[in-house]
Structure 1
Amino acid sequence: MRSEMRLIRARERYGALLTASITVLILEAVLGGIALTVWTWTQVSPDLPYNAMNYVFWAVMAVVLAVVGVVAIAVASVGLVIPLAQVAGWLGRAWWWIPVVAASVSLAPVFGWALAHHAGFRGALGMWLAAAAGWAVPALVVRRLLLPDRPRIGGGAMFGWLALYGTLAVVTAVALAGIGRWAGIGYEPPRMSVERLAGTWTDGEGGTLVLGKDGRATATGLNMYDFEGTKEECSGAGSWSYQPGGGAWDQGVGVTVEGCESGFSWEFYGTEEQPRLFSYIGDPDSWDTYELERRG
């Protein structure tokens, strides 16, 4: 009877450890996803369009990634987080043994991967710190359940506490991200003008577009694409005009060249120092772009 009770208690204890680890790792993934989304807002990139099929595709991908992610998190909990807490406990009762062991275990694989992919020292250092923190945080929560002089907490109670505080953390993160977005934190293309646009733009493959301050335009070997993505080379003289629009994302340039079937319609992105013109290759929903950068 005693052996059976011990076995039941051991199972309950391990279940609590597993529940705690999985819950914390899921919360880390959600908060990491929010942070990644905010980071993408700050990156220099064109304003690519979305349609209903884009949302359907990403919704399906989110479900698939969620299922795969939960399985991966369970495997990581069993193979990494719980053993990490146990090894740190064997080394000493001080809590800082867990980040020390996590950093030591993560050092070789992270820097090895970074070296193989030419990520650079700063990139490798950031990845190493993120990996160490990713294992250390759930292991610190698991450590609380392994301490012999602390009251035992069941898996359900641990899940309840983590779910409560985790939900508060996620709601706070989403609110802060929304406030930041509303306040205008994020990337916007540079504001252009006729004076700033005038000059020579090149696609880096021999195609050029010369925009004069007088509204004249000269194209040499530029590519034009129809809705199907069929390419046609365009050369000749014509005219151009700047459309300021209602904001940074609404501005554009219209170019008409004699001898070409249709005109060019360009949008902007880039930086103040290095603005870029881009147009779509075929269907805009394909997210393929043809880009020009200023020469000189």
Structure 2
Amino acid sequence: MFLGVGAVGCLAVLLAPVVLFGLFIVFRALTVAPEPDGEPVVLAREALTGTWADENGGTLTLAADGRFTADGVCGEFNVRNEVYTRTGTGEWTKSDDRYEDAAKTEVRIEFGGSWAQYEARGGAASPMLWTFLGDPDEGELCVLKKRS
């Protein structure tokens, strides 16, 4: 009788790390940072030009000549102290890339010493540009929607 209890105890000690690792994987899968609705999309340069706005009223206007104007626009800028909004002017570029099984457009804006990059998502009727703000595990997003 005591031999059976000891074997069960040893088995429990051996399986505990496996069970804990499995629970960690399930928890991690359930807490993956959210992304905006819609699929990654390829947008023509002409579809990108115009004014994009974030939910706090910040705007990013992309001109056909490769220049932009930003007014309090959100973004993940490569500057210290976690600056998530910027105002200014600079140049923008478009690149198309593969994302898993789908192609996507990325837009990069450069303000002299800093830059931000957004991914295109949605569809032709309701495109958006987006990026994470800070740690992707935190789930904070910057989403820009095209103004008509």
Q: Deviations over 1:216-246 (max 9, x none)?
A: 1111111344689833431111000110124
Decide which structure has the larger Cα Rg and report it. 1
Once residues 61 and 279 of structure 1 are traced to their aligned partners in structure 2, the CA distance between those partners, rounded to angstroms, is 20
What is the match of residue 75 of structure 1?
A: none
Q: What is the TM-score normalised by the length of structure 2?
A: 0.65
Give percent identity, aligned residues only. 32
Structure 1 position 59 matched with structure 2 position 30: no
What is the match of residue 106 of structure 2?
A: 252
Structure 1 position 295 matched with structure 2 position 144: no
Tell me: higher relative CO, structure 1 or 2? Use CA pairs within 8 A at least 6 residues apart: 2
Alignment of 1:31-42 (within 5 A): none
Q: CA deviation at 1:262?
A: 1.9
**Native 8 Å contact 2:84 2:133 kept in 1:** no
Report the residue type matching 1:253 in the other structure. V
Structure 1 position 236 matched with structure 2 position 88: yes
Structure 1 position 221 matched with structure 2 position 68: no
Once residues 207 and 225 of structure 1 are traced to their aligned partners in structure 2, the CA distance between those partners, rounded to angstroms, is 14
Q: CA deviation at 1:193?
A: 1.3
Q: Sort the Cα spacing of 1:56 and 1:280 in 2 relative to 1 into closer, same or farther, 3 A.
A: farther
Q: Sort the Cα spacing of 1:291 and 1:57 in 2 relative to 1 into closer, same or farther, 3 A.
A: farther
Once residues 56 and 250 of structure 1 are traced to their aligned partners in structure 2, the CA distance between those partners, rounded to angstroms, is 33
Q: Sort the Cα spacing of 1:199 and 1:286 in 2 relative to 1 into closer, same or farther, 3 A.
A: same
Q: CA deviation at 1:60?
A: 4.7
**RMSD in angstroms over aligned alpha carbons?**
2.8
What is the match of residue 212 of structure 1?
A: 63
What is the match of residue 203 of structure 1?
A: 54
Report the residue type matching 2:96 in the other structure. P
Q: What is the TM-score normalised by the length of structure 1?
A: 0.35
| Larger strand share, 1 or 2 | 2
